[in-house]
Structure 1
Amino acid sequence: MFCSNSSGMSAFYSRRIGRPPQLRRYVDDISDFADVPDNTSILGAAKITGRTQSGYTVGVLNAVTGKETAHFTAGTDQPEGTQVVEPLTNYFVGRLRKEFRGGATTFGGILTSTARRLEEGPVKDRLRSHAEAVGLDWRHTWRDREYSWMGSALVSNVAGSPEAMARTQESSAHYFQRPDRSVDGDGFFDTKYDPTATSLRGYGLFSRVGKDSGTLLWEAMTNIRSPGYEVNDLAFLDRSDFAWFNGNIGGSWTVPTNWYRNIFTTIGGATEYNFDGDRTRAALQAFFQIEFLNFWRIRLFGIHNEVALDDRLTRGGPVVKRTGSDYGSFQVSTDARRKAVFDVVFESAWGVGDDTRLFTFRPGLALKPASNVFIQLSPAYTRDRRSEQYVTSVADPTATAFYGNRYVFGYIESTTVSLTTRINWTFSPNLTLQLFAQPFIASGDYSSFREFAAPRTLKKRVYGQDMGTIAYDEETLLYTVDPDGNGSAESFTFRNPDFTTSALRGTAVLRWEYRPGSTLFFVWTQERSGFDPDGDFDFSRARRAIFDQRPMNVFQIKATYWIGR
């Protein structure tokens, strides 16, 4: 696979097991003070993997996480209350794969299950009672692996109370409540919003066929998620309701000449539709890479995005249009064989017809002071300006074009700075140490609040300029908008969305293989985070805020044991 903007389907995401309690936000909303567990306790887990002489690979995982309870008070003179924030849950994953033709063809399957013991109340209203997914995957190559066809297909089913399933349908992965949706049937699978439903079914499909070797290369791909596809109980899904198609043609020259070692280039296009038939993406992309005789590399990548419809920008509201844009990146890296390797990445994007801009600078340095020590430093700086950043929505019966709601957007200028540090130290083949640290600072300054003039258009109207009035109270941090001046629409308020967030995450992992195939892992993780409602970027202030916060430390011991013959 030589296209960088494609991926198959995720059926299992291990961090779902032991995740932070899912009702933490609910408890925070109903209390002045809350003591909520940081993670869900894993009561027990077992994993078995193996391979047979006939070419079968088998893997089975089962884990049970405990019921977690939060303690909270709704006020200084209120009694302490308790709330279940994560129920007793069982997770299961089964995987089987078979190789044929000496590994040139593989075929596999996966089955996942999540089962929760729910109690009446908020837990039952917010969490699904059970979820299942079953899928197949394959890879077939021919002509000495010159050509290949790979793919995967997955069917999902989730169930729960009507309240929990309504939340699922309204979540950012689905937006079934979008008022201008027209799709209302897909056979056995669900596509239509139903607040009384107690289950949701969907499917996903990924397929790619291509020529992977030789001078001339090509590939064709499709990636589909039906509106009802849902696997977030034990995998990761950020959105559904799309059908994506992509094609690329490329060239690869691997015979060294008197000035380069190899060249690789591709050009292609992609388009995407939702299940209503709206075209939500149309893009052209190109990539070029050259490696010189001194092993230095240069990479160039560019994308042109046409103006397209966007069914997610209003976060459950009607479809609007998204500005077209152009993106380009340039990367140069030095000889990876050296003890000191340097690379630098420049990225830039700009809107077509508006003042959207993006600039990113990412230098990197990798050091190998000894054969058993690796150090990597990766700072990054990003400056971003966007003209259509979602802020909030408010009910307004006079906003008939948007089905009784106003969707407020803002112009945002954001700055992000981070530094990623990695150290790998191998004391011996059986004893290693890995260190990771990443301080992170991001700020966002909003202005020029606006709304779209009508669904399925690009035009926006700015409050206080093109329509109505807007005022800001510095004491309450509230904006007040009268959308039509002396008209019949009522005024509304929203909080200043400016922000500065700072965080620090660090991890240390000591691995000791005390016998062949059997390993102990000692893990220490520390996290710090802070928030400031000021959107002006101030590096010194944000840096101090990181270390003013109380750290959260987590210590873990993990073990694997090899059962041999």
Structure 2
Amino acid sequence: MPREWTLITGVVWAGIASAAVEGPGRNQFLHAARTNGPVVVDGRLDEDTWAKAPVFDGFVQRFPDAGKAPSERTELRVLHDDRNLYVAITSHDSEPALLNRNLGRRDSDPYSDRVKVLVDPTHDHRTAYVFTVNAGGVQSDGLYYDDRNYTTDWDGVWDAAVGSTDKGWVAELAIPLSLLRFPEAPVQTWGFSVRRDIARRNEELETVLNPRTSNAVVSRLGHLTGLENLRPQRAVELVPYLAARTLARPQFSDAARPWPRLMDPSMDLGLDFRMALTSNLALTGTLNPDFGQVEADELILNLSTFETFFPEKRTFFTQGMELFNQVGGEGMPQTLFYSRRIGLGTPILGAAKLTGTVAEGVEVGLLDAVVTGPWQRDADEARPDRNVSLYLTRPLHLGPNDALPTEPEVPMNYLAAVVRGKVGASSRVGGMVTMATPLVGGCSREDAALDEDKQPAPCLARGGNAAAVDFDLKTADGKYGLMGQLDGSQVVGGLPERTLRDGTVLRRGDTGFGGYVRAGKYGGEGFRWDVGYDFTSPRLDLNPSGFLRTQNEHAPRAALRYQRPNGLGPLKSYSANLSGGTRWTTDGRGLDRGSWINFNTVAQLPSFDYVGLETGANLGGWNVRELEGSGVPLENENMAFLALIVESNENRPVSAGGYVLAARHFQAGPVAPSWGWTADLYGTVRPHPALETRLELLLDRTTTAPRFIEDLGDNRFLLSPLLSDTLSLTLRQQWVVTPRLTLQAYAQLFTAYGTYGTYYEGMSDVRHSPIRFASLVPVEHENTDDFHDVGLNLNVVLRWEYRLGSTLYVVYTHGQQRLPVADGVRPPRTLMPHGLLAGAAQDALMLKWSWYWGA
């Protein structure tokens, strides 16, 4: 299965937004009373002030029967004082013994009986904070932005407690006003609503009618009044940390020499801070950030010519970053800011971001990060330097000199600035600028002519500037929309010139441009449609600070959808989507890069399980990236696939799901047709609310048409078809002692092998004429290209939030790769983890302590 295919799961399909539904409560007003005494957050509501608070119980169903009366009664009370907003939800239940109280760590948000508080304090109808607590006391938070997009990346320090009654359960929340941006005004009116999930019935309630069929969320919230004489809190939050770790690693960088091993102790000191500069502007920063508790990236086999996009997991770059996201959210083709460019190779010295509102309806964001660090010059691995030193380029880190990298650490400054302005009731326009600037001198042509391992640091830099304007325009009901982006780039620093995969030569100072647009009917029951067009010039380069999968293409597309989120007959929900598109180059040759078509459908059964089907094909065209850097197009492989998808109701103690896919690869010249397949299956077991075990199995067989092996010169190329098998087994184990004391384990065993078949020679000419598979000629060639990879990642994290916002981590990690196959020995064709235990391994134990102080 090509790695660039993305299967759409039933859960995602069923959540696609559709049309606005009018109903009672759309212009609902709730009242928050001022407290007449202290409030203790304990889940009991036994203070006199709660007894005098107004009670609202007019909840309506959001799902599965939007607008209908709920099966259980819910009572809402809201209070405030000068420092906090207090929310109490009493969830009555006729069968309290059946409440789902699943536990998890902070921000895990397990599926369970839970309540969510949505607050839009600026009342801009575009951004809302979400505070969630479940019946087991697990807290999580997130943020709606651009009215309908949701992210769990936002995080705040707030308090909540739950209590049980003989008729249900109670949630009590205290939300500090310092977390919320709101204007200075004697009387406030905020967007507001509360949702409740009744897990065993898969029922979702809300204080205001805001059904899943709506292509909007924040603009459809009710209103919270009674907020008088509130002053924005100019809070300061400091979170210093101290991390001590010991790393056991091989002494030699040669993977074939895993022994002996060295023990490297180290210590880091750092600080995270947040402060309100004005009532609408907040400054967040970090010095020497440490992300040792973050789970390792998934091990994968990427057989495509495209870079793999990995999600961001580091807290500084996940919190409060919604303003820096591209219009349309994830999946859009041109991203100016991709935070994983920062600090994965060279350590981050410091970073800061400024976010907020500078005028009514105008949001701004500014982020700056500096990466730099020492490295070993003329390192001698046979006689390692075990001295401990401090370096000005990394002054808050202490460790042995021989643990420093042997490659130059390129100091860089990353800058991203964005401004977005509201237009009308629910639209916006904006712009963004990003800069990745090398903080080193230039790379001369003489330096660039050296072997890659001898080039100085300036030649290793990849700098660039980029700018874009964007727009997200919607009708008042959110039913129709037009969104898009126009962007440009400039190459800065690095090599005097370099060649991209498609043969485009990129020189310092070169500029490129691109853009995308989407328009359609995004709301409404029944049929919806959208059309789109992407354009990238050959020299568009967003990757120094952003993510651009490929350049040099026109890519129009269209889709017709049929959506019934509120059900169809006996089905709880149903969707069907037909889409397709084509691509061709923008370099003046107008080369066809291929066409695609896709159909998927999914239904939610009366049991709330999902079943789905997806099929599609990639047809025709030329691959301009396969013959690496040559500029010679190679015929595309034609293929079609069919996938079956199942997702069981996650409310059950045992749930399972996944997909099975079969792919047909058609005749490719001398290579016969073949089948590939993928099975990605998971199972989750919850024998107790405090225990969860999840096991995921991925098995994949990929066959390819002849692909690039070697450039033989004179426009001649060596190619061979590839058969690869992959196995990935992932285990996640969670034990929750309390919601603030958790133990988590993650382990992934990954094996893959690839074997090449008959070798062929393909020939072009000085005009770089395309090469067809039918023209390939078999040749004799010794097979030294087969591979066998095995890897193991293990991560165990003990997390204790010993006081609100303050955390102690104990983290153990283990990473291991197989011992390389000896020269002259053909790698085994097996998914067994041969050579793993003999291979190089790294073991790390870290103790990290942080302390939260806020005023």
- Return the TM-score normalized by structure 1: 0.76
CA drift at 1:146: 1.0
Alignment RMSD (CA, Å): 3.4
- Partner letter of residue 551 of structure 1? Q
Contact 2:623 2:634 in 1 (8 A): yes
1:171 aligns with 2:500: yes
Contact 2:804–2:852 (CA<8 Å) still a contact in 1?
Answer: no
Which position in structure 1 is the counterpart of 2:839? 548
Q: 2:418 aligns with which of 95, 100, 110?
A: 95
Residues in 2 aligned to 1:131 and 1:452: alpha-carbon distance in whole angstroms: 36
Q: Show the 5 A alignment for 1:15-414.
A: 15-20=340-345, 40-50=346-356, 54-72=360-378, 85-102=408-425, 104-119=426-441, 121=447, 122-123=455-456, 126-128=459-461, 130-160=463-493, 164-167=495-498, 170-172=499-501, 175-176=503-504, 193=505, 197-213=507-523, 214-256=525-567, 259-275=570-586, 276-317=589-630, 318-353=632-667, 354-395=672-713, 404-414=714-724
Counterparts of 1:430-469 in structure 2, within 5 Å, are 430=740, 434-452=744-762, 455-460=769-774, 466=777
Q: Say if 1:165 and 1:200, in contact at 8 Å, map to a contact too.
A: no
How many Å separate the matches in 2 of 1:344 and 1:12?
A: 32
Larger mean Cα displacement after TM superposition, 201-210 or 511-520: 511-520
Cα pair 1:51 1:57 within 8 Å, conserved: yes
How far 1:418 sits from its partner (Å)? 0.2
How far apart, CA to CA, are the structure 1 residues paired with 2:847 and 2:421?
35
Residues 236 and 257 (structure 1), Cα distance of their counterparts in 2 relative to 1, 3 Å cut: closer
Change in CA separation of 1:507 and 1:60 when aligned onto 2, cut-off 3 Å: farther
Residues 269, 283 of structure 1: 8 Å contact kept: yes
Sort the Cα spacing of 1:562 and 1:95 in 2 relative to 1 into closer, same or farther, 3 A.
farther
Counterpart-to-counterpart distance in 2, 1:309 and 1:83: 41
Deviates more, 1:206-215 or 1:230-239: 230-239
In the aligned structure 1, how far is the partner of 2:742 from the partner of 2:780? 59
Which one has the bigger strand percentage? 1
Change (3 A) 1:521 1:64: farther
Which string of whole-angstrom CA distances, capped at 9 and with x for unpartnered residues, describes residues 110-137 of structure 1?
2222222325642356334742222233
**1:346, 1:362 within 8 Å by CA — same for their partners in 2?**
yes
* Structure 1 position 415 matched with structure 2 position 702: no
- The question of whether the paired residues in 2 share the 8 Å contact of 1:127 and 1:160 is answered with no
* Counterpart AA for 1:540: M
Residues 4 and 447 (structure 1), Cα distance of their counterparts in 2 relative to 1, 3 Å cut? farther
- Taking the TM superposition and a 5 Å limit, the aligned residue runs for 1:419-430 are 419-424=729-734, 428=738, 430=740
Secondary structure of the residue aligned to 2:836 is helix
- Kept after mapping to 2: 8 A contact 1:450/1:460: no
Q: Percent identity, please.
A: 22
Q: For the Cα contact (< 8 Å) 1:502–1:546, is it kept in 2?
A: no
Contact 1:86–1:123 (CA<8 Å) still a contact in 2?
Answer: no
Q: Gaps spanning 5+ residues in structure 2: where?
A: 1-15, 18-327, 384-401, 448-454
Taking the aligned partners of 1:555 and 1:51, their CA distance within structure 2 comes to 39
Which residue in 1 is equivalent to 2:104?
A: none
**Structure with bigger gyration radius:** 2
SS at match of 2:497: helix
Distance 1:286 1:363, change over 3 A: same
- The answer to whether structure 1 residue 506 and structure 2 residue 794 are counterparts is yes
Structure-2 residue corresponding to 1:7: 332
Q: 1:4 to 1:114 in 2, by over 3 A?
A: closer
Deviations 1:481-523 (A, max 9, x none): xxxxxxxxxxxxxx61010011123345566667767777776
Distance 1:150 1:287 in 2: 24
Task: Look up the SS of the partner of 1:86 in the other structure.
Answer: coil
- For 1:115 and 1:61, the matched residues in 2 are separated by 14
Distance verdict in 2 for CA 1:552–1:389, change over 3 Å: farther
Contact 1:419 1:438 (C-alpha < 8 Å) held by counterparts: yes
Question: Letter of the aligned partner of 2:334 in structure 1?
Answer: M
Corresponding residue for residue 537 of structure 1: 829
- The alpha-carbon deviation at position 380 of structure 1 amounts to 0.6
CA distance 1:541–1:67, change in 2 (3 Å): closer
Instruction: State how far apart, in whole Å, the 1-side matches of 2:787 and 2:375 are.
Output: 31
Q: Residue 11 of structure 1 aligns to which amino acid in structure 2?
A: L
Q: Determine the C-alpha separation between the residues in 2 that align with 1:44 and 1:284.
A: 46
Q: Is the 8 A contact 2:665 2:676 kept in 1?
A: no
Does the Cα contact within 8 Å between 1:498 and 1:534 map onto a contact in 2? yes
Q: Distance in 1 between matches of 2:837 and 2:485?
A: 43
Amino acid at match of 1:16: R
Deviations 1:176-208 (A, max 9, x none): 1xxxxxxxxxxxxxxxx47xx431211231211
| Uncovered stretches (5+) of structure 1, i.e. residues with no partner | 21-39, 177-192, 396-403, 472-478, 480-494
> What is the letter of the counterpart of residue 503 of structure 2?
Y
Cα distance in 2, alignment partners of residues 313 and 558 from structure 1: 48
1:202/1:378 CA distance change after superposition, 3 Å: same
Code of the residue aligned with 2:353 in structure 1: it is K
Given that 1:165 and 1:199 are in contact with CA atoms closer than 8 Å, whether structure 2 keeps it comes out as no
Sort the Cα spacing of 1:338 and 1:250 in 2 relative to 1 into closer, same or farther, 3 A.
same
Distance in structure 2 (CA, Å) of the matches to 1:55 and 1:307: 47
**Distance (Å, rounded) in 1 between the aligned partners of 2:641 and 2:361:** 45
Counterpart secondary structure, 2:456: helix
Aligned to 1:483: none
Distance 1:558 1:457, change over 3 A: farther
Amino acid at match of 2:466: A
Q: Which has the higher contact order (CA 8 A, sep 6+)?
A: 2
Would the alpha carbon gap of residues 343 and 447 (structure 1) be closer, same or farther in structure 2, given more than 3 Å must change? same
1:309 to partner: Cα distance: 1.4
Q: Within 2, Cα distance between the matches of 1:94 and 1:327?
A: 42
- Please give the alpha-carbon distance, in whole angstroms, between the structure 1 residues aligned to 2:800 and 2:553: 45
Letter of the 1:528 partner, please give it: Q
SS in structure 1 at match of 2:546: coil
Structure 2 distance, partners of 1:308, 1:558, is: 56
Residues 541 and 83 (structure 1), Cα distance of their counterparts in 2 relative to 1, 3 Å cut: closer
Contact 2:472 2:481 in 1 (8 A): yes
Deviations 1:296-353 (A, max 9, x none): 2111111122221111121123112112111121111222221221113111111222
| d(CA) in 2 for partners of 1:417, 1:302 | 23
For 1:476, the equivalent position in structure 2 comes to: none
Inter-CA distance 510–57: structure 2 relative to 1 (3 Å threshold): farther
- Rounded to whole Å, the distance in 1 between the matches of 2:410 and 2:546 is 18
Tell me which residue corresponds to 1:23.
none
